[in-house]
Structure 1
Amino acid sequence: MATEELNPSKLGTKEHWDQVYELELNNFEEIGEEGEIWFGENSVEKMVDWALDHLPPSENPTILEVGSGNGTLLFGLSEAGYEQTRLAGVDYSEGAVRLAHGIAEQREASSVSFRTCNFLGETPAPLPCHDGSSDTQIWDLLLDKGTYDAIALGPKDEQGRSPARDYPKRVVRLLKPGGIFLITSCNFTEAELKASFCTSETGLVYHSNVRHPTITFGGQTGSSIVTVAFQKPALV
């Protein structure tokens, strides 16, 4: 399914997610509840395991999560041994960022960076380099767990184009040569993600995938979610 074929939904609006995270932030402040884990804990574990296999902590990668929400995935990476100062998350909802900061303090992960940023219209601030300089293309790994799905449900423009059309170009601009984009989706199949991200415009190539439990319905077998990795070619 192409992004233009999806009907807009409240799940694709900032107003919806501001309301969600305002409620989750209130719950966290009152009873310590950290909020919903999008796609469940198993999806977090599988993405962390993929990272451990392909970009282990010993390589000291820089990692950015797009649409980081309450930060669960980045905290999972921190607990797996990744350097906190090399982990960052961005979300366009200020409430999500405030919630992630609160959870980070509770989990002793305050060195993980969380910032408010509209990924489609703004460039995420880079992590400071050790020499005090900075570079926008510093990310070895970009992560997405449901954000592309939500963006694809956003309101279309006057030409009927989805806001998700610009997403792949934003991804490739922020990756280092050789860097990898790892995405988990429930709205798109692996083939559909390949069609959107592996284009002549992005230059991204298929890298690998993650297996999820399958279900059979109507004689067809598949998974309710898919996780796929795409790589930016290294400089020759």
Structure 2
Amino acid sequence: MHPHQRQTVSVSTTATRYPGHSSISSCLAVPATMRILPEAKNGFTNLTGIDYSPSAIQLSEKVREKEGVSNIKLLVEDFLAPSAELLGFHICIDKGTFDAVSLNPDNAVGKRKQYVRSLCSVLKPEGFFLITSCNWTKEELLNEFREGFEIVEELPTPKFCFGGRIGNSVTALVFQRKK
């Protein structure tokens, strides 16, 4: 099984804890935004994908049209300064946005803290946050999201061996926002 298939299955499994009208936000780079296509095809109707790049949103619109789904709202948004339209989500999915924020040479620490504040503002209490990162370990992500979030699950990801030690090239975690 391809590693991304496992993550999509986990997203769907988490999503099934809520009825089909639950709100799911994908705050990621756009090809990853299309990871919510399974939810769109399985009856979820309140899906939102965001990206700060208008051209990325245009690409997602083409993919959405090609796939024949109309229940994904696509928005040009800066997740570090979310609009009022991004409130009250049950599930938020990130694959790459936190990594990109972390690499910003201008106040990366402050931007990571703002990311967590933004996430808390868009996600309902007890909502789920799924993150896939190629730059952060599980322990580092637990530290970054310790304020306001609890770990629920570590999702399986590809492993590698180097110098006799086993590691992961990607970290995928499910958090739940505290009440």
Q: Scaled by the length of structure 2, what TM-score is found?
A: 0.89
Q: What do the CA deviations read for 1:51-75 (whole angstroms, capped 9, x no partner)?
A: 2323317622210000241332122
What's the counterpart of residue 178 of structure 1?
A: 126
Unmatched runs of 5 consecutive residues or more in structure 1: 1-40, 127-135
**What amino acid does structure 2 have at the position aligned with 1:181?**
F
Structure 2: how far apart are the matches of 1:172 and 1:58?
19
**CA pair 153-90 structure 1, distance change in 2 beyond 3 A:** same
**CA pair 139-58 structure 1, distance change in 2 beyond 3 A:** closer
Larger fraction in strand: 2
What's the counterpart of residue 73 of structure 1?
A: 35
Picking from 64, 84, 89, the partner of 2:49 is 89
CA-CA distance at 1:98 after TM superposition: 0.6
Structure 1: how far apart are the matches of 2:94 and 2:26?
6
**What amino acid does structure 2 have at the position aligned with 1:209?**
E
Instruction: Judge conservation of contact 2:50–2:74 (CA < 8 Å) in 1.
Output: yes
Structure 2: how far apart are the matches of 1:187 and 1:73?
20
List aligned pairs for 1:154-165, cutoff 5 A: 154-157=104-107, 161=109, 163-165=111-113
Picking from 158, 164, 172, the partner of 1:227 is 172
Q: Which has the larger radius of gyration?
A: 1
Q: Are 2:160 and 1:198 equivalent residues in the alignment?
A: no
Q: Are 2:72 and 1:116 equivalent residues in the alignment?
A: no
CA-CA distance at 1:43 after TM superposition: 4.5
Structure 2: how far apart are the matches of 1:122 and 1:106?
28
Give the percent of matched residue pairs that are identical in Structure 1 and Structure 2: 26
Structure 1: how far apart are the matches of 2:2 and 2:54?
26
1:155 partner SS: coil
Unmatched runs of 5 consecutive residues or more in structure 2: none
**CA pair 231-221 structure 1, distance change in 2 beyond 3 A:** same
Number of aligned pairs? Answer: 177
Q: Scaled by the length of structure 1, what TM-score is found?
A: 0.69
